[in-house]
Amino acid sequence: MKRFEFVEASSLAQAAKLAAQPNGAVRAGGIDLMDLQKEHLAEPDRVISIRRVPGAAEIREEGGALVIGPLVTLAQLASHPVALAKWKAVAVAAGEAASPQVRNQATVIGNLLQRPRCWYFRNELLQCARKGGPDCLSQEGENRYHAIFENKDCAIVHASNVSPAAMLFDGSVKTVKADGSRREIPLAKLFVKPEVDITKEHVLEAGEVVEALVLPAKAGGDHSSFLAAREKSAFDWPLFSLAVRLEMSGNVVKAAQIVFGAAAPTPLRREKAEAALVGKAIDEATARAAAALCFEDATPMTQNGYKVAMGTALTARAILAAV
């Protein structure tokens, strides 16, 4: 790890200002940043901690929306009674991430913004397309953990558990930039597809600091679910994950939202399947039919065809679980 200067910011605006100077990095929980530093994938000269920023570790309800501060940990969110009741999939997703130790330290925002786990990307010796190299090395290489959708240019899978669940609620992030200006970015616009810019996963600018994740209340928040398949029961990223929210009228679906996590480079809405569920009562057959629709456009690679079968099963189960 390269040596760096450690600074504690007293406000998020100050952190943004400091981080905008060349080679600065903002640190909240520090989990992914530390990994990136150890692997020489991030070599900041100055690390700006926001640990001392007052109020940043709070979860609030504001005008019916859940507002999650930048120091709120995954563990905090996972056990938050209101979140569990009304934004169930989000709380469950937070509780399914990483390990108990990591969840006590890692932040929800950090989970959203973490860099991909692709083994070519994480290997400092290899220059993959995302790091400015000529090719996505997984195309011809080991791709068992890689994307089964939108994987032609770069086959990373989106690493966050929280984001697919948060997208069910049309969540957004509020940010502050180095010049003190503020903006709100819907999650649907936050993440960047490889075809747009292969080197970044989100649209935040240098020094732009997230002040909060905002989750509006939605009908069916209690009818939402998150499911993931992993190789290990803890301390592992999903092989496949998804979140589902159903708005029910009696036993009939009024509206549905399905978002895949670890399946494509960014969280992936499955509108066709969502539409197919509307007006139907959920049973095993409708769940399976909708699940099958979700994978019509899958383009599995040489080693990850298993994810289609696995994903189809998990999708059907998540739909059934959301009822």
Partner 1 sequence: MPPRPRRPRPLSVVGTSPPRLEGAAKVAGTARYVDDLEFPGLLLGRTIRSTVPRGELLGWSMGRRPRGLHVVSAADIPGRNAIALLEPDQPCLVRREIRHAAEPVLLLAHEDRDALASVAVELRERPRKAQLDVRASRSFCKEILIEKGNLSRGFARADRIVEGEYTTGHQEQLYVETQGVIAVPEKDGVTIYGSLQCPYYVQKALVELLSLPPERVRIIQVETGGGFGGKEEYPSMIAGHAALLALKSGRPVKLVYDRSEDMLATTKRHPSIVRHKTGVRRDGSLTAMQIDVLLDAGAYVTLSPVVLSRGVLHAAGPYRCEDVQILGRAAMTNTPPNGAFRGFGAPQTQFAVEVHMERIAEALGIDPLELRRRNALRPGDTTATGQRLGADCSALPCLESAVRRSRFVARRRAIEKHNAKARVSGGPLRGIGLALFFHGSGFTGAGEVKLASRAALELTPTGARILVASTEIGQGTRTILSQIVAEELGWPLSRIEVADPDTREVPDSGPTVASRTCMIVGEILRRCAQSLKRALGRMTPRQYLAKNGPLVVTEQYDRPKSMHWDDVHYRGDAYGAYGYGCDVIELEIDPVTAEVRPAEVTAVQDIGRAIHPVLAAGQIEGGTAQGIAFALAEEVVMRDGRMANAQLTNYAVPTPLDTPPMQVEILEFPYGHGPFGAKGVGEMPIDGPSPAVVNALRHAGLDIRDIPAVPERIAGLVDSMRGAAT
- Residues of this chain that interact with partner 1 (CB under 8 A) are 1-3, 38-40, 99, 117, 119, 122-123, 141-142, 144-145, 229, 231-237, 239, 303-304, 306, 309-310, 312-314
The two three-digit tokens of residue 188, written as one number? 């649907």
Query: In angstroms, what is the minimal distance from the CB of 164 to partner 1?
Result: 18
Taking the least distance from each CB to partner 1, the nearer of 193 and 288 is 288
- 8 Å CB contact between 166 and 90: yes
Query: In angstroms, what is the minimal distance from the CB of 138 to partner 1?
Result: 11
- 64 DSSP 8-state letter: T
Three-class SS string for 172-241? EEEEECCCCCEEEEEHHHHECCCCCCCCCCECCCCCCEEEEEEECCCCCHHHEEEEEECCCCCCCCCCEE
Taking the least distance from each CB to partner 1, the nearer of 50 and 75 is 75
The two three-digit tokens of residue 29, written as one number? 């929980």
Taking the least distance from each CB to partner 1, the nearer of 35 and 222 is 35
Query: In angstroms, what is the minimal distance from the CB of 70 to partner 1?
Result: 25
Dihedral sign (CA 166, 187, 119, 207) = negative
Query: In angstroms, what is the minimal distance from the CB of 313 to partner 1?
Result: 4
Q: Given the DSSP bridges, would you call strands 5-8 and 209-215 parallel, antiparallel or unpaired?
A: unpaired
Query: In angstroms, what is the minimal distance from the CB of 234 to partner 1?
Result: 4
Instruction: Report the candidate in 102, 133, 138, 106 with the shortest Cα–Cα distance to residue 120.
Output: 138
Taking the least distance from each CB to partner 1, the nearer of 212 and 291 is 291
Taking the least distance from each CB to partner 1, the nearer of 62 and 231 is 231
